[in-house]
Amino acid sequence: MSLIEVKNVIKRYQTGEDSFNALNNVSLSIEEGEFVAIMGASGSGKSTFMNMLGTLDKPNSGSYHLDGIDVLSLNSDELSKIRNRKIGFVFQGFNLISRTSAVENVELPMIYYGVPEEERHERAMHALQIVGLEGRANHMPNQMSGGQQQRVAIARAIINDPPLILADEPTGNLDTKTSIEVMEFFVNLNARTGKTIVLVTHEPDIAEYCKRVVRFKDGNIISDEVKV
């Protein structure tokens, strides 16, 4: 079954008197359990596409269904619920709250979900254990390495058990060794839980970890390659 179904999407931006299509009639289906890399040069449309998948931006025309839901028909409150329950976000800059401990950062999505405090803490500690950071639960972000911060961000992304993980250049601020560790974790997460992972990267060696690579250029999908 398709978790993501995008059809004939156009996203147009206006710059003064000129306009251009960041996405030009793009269609793409992603099945449950796939691990997909979205690649392309700067300005190719990959980030615009990722923002649309994350319901952070809407196209001018076309359709987008996520887990069977017509996303483009939802209001802002409904979109917030979709983001909280259906999507886990992992960003290049980690996006942790600096004055908040690792476990409190992980708990944050559950607060919006209305999970009771005791259960929040228990689930957050379990998520930190999954990413190998149970011993760092009370550390602040500035007391952790970049790789540890990214693993806290991954724990936060999976805490509400969303079917979809969106990772935007998740290794962009990491050294090679740490990048490998983070990507191996994504591979294991995908294999172990069947979560769908869509990852934006411009690095071919990072895309190698994914089972499918979709390349964008000038707002178009120019290739869609599934590894056998």
CA distances from 130 to 38, 46, 123, 125, 159 (A): 26, 30, 11, 9, 11
Contact call for residues 86 and 160 (beta carbons, < 8 A): no
| Cα–Cα distance measured from residue 37 to residue 203, given in angstroms and rounded to the nearest whole number | 10
| Cα–Cα distance measured from residue 209 to residue 35, given in angstroms and rounded to the nearest whole number | 9
pLDDT of residue 119: 94
pLDDT of residue 209: 96
Task: Tell whether pTM > 0.85.
Answer: yes
pLDDT of residue 18: 87
Structure tokens at 164: 């979809």
| Cα–Cα distance measured from residue 90 to residue 198, given in angstroms and rounded to the nearest whole number | 10
pLDDT of residue 93: 86
> What phi, psi does 90 have (nearest 5°)?
-130, 125
Q: Which helix (H) or strand (E) holds 28?
A: strand 18-31
pLDDT of residue 83: 92
Residue 78's contacts (CB-CB under 8 Å, 6 or more residues apart) are none
pLDDT of residue 54: 96
pLDDT of residue 94: 87
> How many alpha carbons lie under 13 Å from residue 109 in its C-beta half-sphere?
28
pLDDT of residue 218: 95
Per-residue exposure over 59-70, b if at least 16 CB sit within 10 Å of its own CB, e if not = beebebbbbeee
Domains and CATH numbers, the chain: 33-60+75-226 (3.40.50.300)
pLDDT of residue 2: 92
Segment-wise mean pLDDT, segments of 10 residues, the chain, 228 residues: 95 88 96 97 93 94 96 94 93 90 94 89 94 93 93 93 94 91 93 95 94 97 93
